[in-house]
Structure 1
Amino acid sequence: MSDQKTPCLYCQTLNEAGQSDCKNCGMPIAEYHPQSRKRGLKLFHKAFWLIVIFCVFMIFYLPR
């Protein structure tokens, strides 16, 4: 058995990671949960590097 649990988007019941349907309400389990930490970090990393590149570009582009 896996230690990972995936919450159902409809009833918030925790289900095992490999299940395709919720054990409580029977609704399909989302492949990616919208509040997933991994998804949030991925978005943060993209935004962070975009801002870093923009700042470095502006350092050399702007007149002194």
Structure 2
Amino acid sequence: MLDNEIPCLYCQTMNQDGSESCSNCGMPIAEFHPEDRKRGVKFFGKAFWLIAIFCVIMVFYLPR
């Protein structure tokens, strides 16, 4: 799969990124596709750093 292609959620036909509708079935292309890897990695990075900062704060905050 090329980086500039995204599959249709309904018929799985590959379409150019930025298309408003599928070239095969005509259904609208989702704005946030579930297979968008960049979005998942971005969320994971934010969650990881939030949890890491919380753990560091708790190490110093909790009584020993």
Whether these two folds match at TM > 0.5 is yes
- Distance of 2:50 and 2:18 partners within structure 1: 35
2:47 corresponds to: 47
Report how far residue 18 of structure 1 moved. 2.8
Report how far residue 32 of structure 1 moved. 1.6
Secondary structure of the structure 2 residue equivalent to 1:19: coil
- Distance of 1:34 and 1:54 partners within structure 2: 28
Secondary structure of the structure 2 residue equivalent to 1:24: coil
Point out 4+ residue stretches in structure 1 off by more than 3 angstroms. Answer: none
TM-score (norm 2): 0.85
Structure 1 unaligned runs (5+)? Answer: none
Q: How many aligned positions are there?
A: 62
Structure 2 unaligned runs (5+)? Answer: none
Report how far residue 49 of structure 1 moved. 1.0
Question: What is the aligned-residue identity percentage?
Answer: 69
TM-score (norm 1): 0.85
